Structure 1
């Protein structure tokens, strides 16, 4: 199952009689090939999103993995270097980027001794383990949220499902300090597992997921990240599992249903 079909299946599970809010707690979406898509479904969803004023899917996906920049970067270290050079400008030109982006955290996580390049560190670790006789299967973690992040009452993340936003901040709850209801990170943590056949799998934990504004782009961005890690660690990409504490279909369900039911304009033309 690819990203398009997994997202569609998840939405159909939420849009059922007896669930007027079209939501659920502790949803689990498993995607066999998260870097792949169904062109017809993607085109229909893109059209619907444009009509309703949502940010392009590619914009959402790029906050997790900048695919175009990666394609012109020679190595993971080169990708990280180039992204870090762009990062101050990215944070200035859009207020939603002011406290950072997801890939910004991957490329330079605020560690106790300075920024940590999680991308190249993780790739090197997976490659070394995969080359050995008894590789560790579950020792590959990637953090996004940080305890010292500033709480923001923002509508630009998944918790607010803001429209037309190129990226969003990644603050995390600090006990006794942050008491607001919005502004915490959507994606908190990514964990990777290497099986005996040198296949790399991923699990991503989200606090919440808005299925129209963010979920599809998030699945795609994570799938591309997983494929990139596997390529440069010289292993094979496996499945992606996304866990959301709360998932909801937000906005105009009547506009979304033709996409989910395969009755969009592009298919009829």
Structure 2
């Protein structure tokens, strides 16, 4: 079994490291199981590199990286709104229209995070719950650093854990497609930084991974800012990773060192 554990200082460098870990002579399928990608600063990437990767992606019929990132966090909308409750209200109002777009029939990741299907058809704002709990813990004399993980908890079961659930067991039964992201788990360290770990059942590096890293970093930044905390690291774990796409066209990008990683 091929696996890997890589670390990059920014989104671009981490993505390149993960792709190179998959593109090995002893791995002709360019796949791996139980992979780990750590990003030290998930709020930063090389925009020139992203533009070149986008050129290849769009040429193969994929949507821009910004579109992928937007399914995890609507950065443009959030910049125009200062109040979190208003962001949730406006996104929920847009959600039916967003779900009419190709690929969104089962929802978007951010939709699941701010309108998670709860009991009695109630919609749960998990992001707001996370922000409030992190802020409360950070202001206490002995903040909990890892009391946010609850693997079997449902968001309606008592006090909400610092875990964003995406997968809904009663409706998500597709073998492929949405949602590949199962949940995000947040940790608060003693230095006042928020870290996040995201678990994917499957990750396609060319089609989705770069945009997912970017969106997760923006989501982490938003939550940390609203909780008056600093941004920590992003760790992405995938049960199955695959370097898809035009490999011969990608290899020149994977051999270059972006300016941010120099």
Q: TM-score, normalised by structure 1?
A: 0.84
In 2, Cα distance between the equivalents of 1:21 and 1:88? 38
Aligned mate of 2:203, from 205, 209, 225? 209
Match of 1:170 in 2: none
In 2, Cα distance between the equivalents of 1:235 and 1:54? 35
Please state if 1:106 is matched with 2:113: yes
Aligned mate of 1:16, from 18, 24, 32? 24
After the TM superposition, which residues 7-86 of structure 1 pair with which residues of structure 2 at under 5 Å, given as runs?
7-86=15-94
In 2, Cα distance between the equivalents of 1:196 and 1:6? 25
Match of 1:261 in 2: 255
Secondary structure of 2:92's counterpart equals: helix
**Partner deviation per Cα, 1:182-241 (whole Å, 9 max, x = no partner):** 346210010000000110000000000000000000000000000000000000010000
In 2, Cα distance between the equivalents of 1:241 and 1:183? 21
Match of 2:222 in 1: 228
Q: What is the RMSD of the two structures over their aligned residues, measured on CA atoms?
A: 1.5
- Runs ≥4 in structure 1, deviation > 6 angstroms? none
Whether the 8 Å contact between 1:3 and 1:216 is mirrored in structure 2 is: yes
The gaps in structure 2 that reach 5 residues or longer are 1-8, 149-161
Secondary structure of 1:237's counterpart equals: strand
In 2, Cα distance between the equivalents of 1:95 and 1:258? 31
Please state if 1:219 is matched with 2:213: yes
Match of 2:163 in 1: 141
In 2, Cα distance between the equivalents of 1:97 and 1:51? 22
In 2, Cα distance between the equivalents of 1:41 and 1:116? 37
In 1, Cα distance between the equivalents of 2:234 and 2:257? 28
Question: Offset of 1:119 from its aligned partner?
Answer: 1.2
In 1, Cα distance between the equivalents of 2:207 and 2:141? 44
**Partner deviation per Cα, 1:56-113 (whole Å, 9 max, x = no partner):** 0000000000000000112111111110010111112x14212211100001111114
In 2, Cα distance between the equivalents of 1:132 and 1:150? 38
Question: Offset of 1:251 from its aligned partner?
Answer: 2.4
Match of 2:182 in 1: 188
Please state if 1:89 is matched with 2:83: no
Secondary structure of 1:96's counterpart equals: coil
Secondary structure of 1:13's counterpart equals: helix
In 2, Cα distance between the equivalents of 1:61 and 1:22? 24
Whether the 8 Å contact between 1:151 and 1:184 is mirrored in structure 2 is: no
Question: Offset of 1:38 from its aligned partner?
Answer: 1.4
Q: TM-score, normalised by structure 2?
A: 0.86
1:50/1:182 CA distance change after superposition, 3 Å = closer
Whether the 8 Å contact between 2:172 and 2:179 is mirrored in structure 1 is: no
Secondary structure of 1:37's counterpart equals: coil
Whether the 8 Å contact between 2:109 and 2:179 is mirrored in structure 1 is: no
Whether the 8 Å contact between 2:106 and 2:178 is mirrored in structure 1 is: no
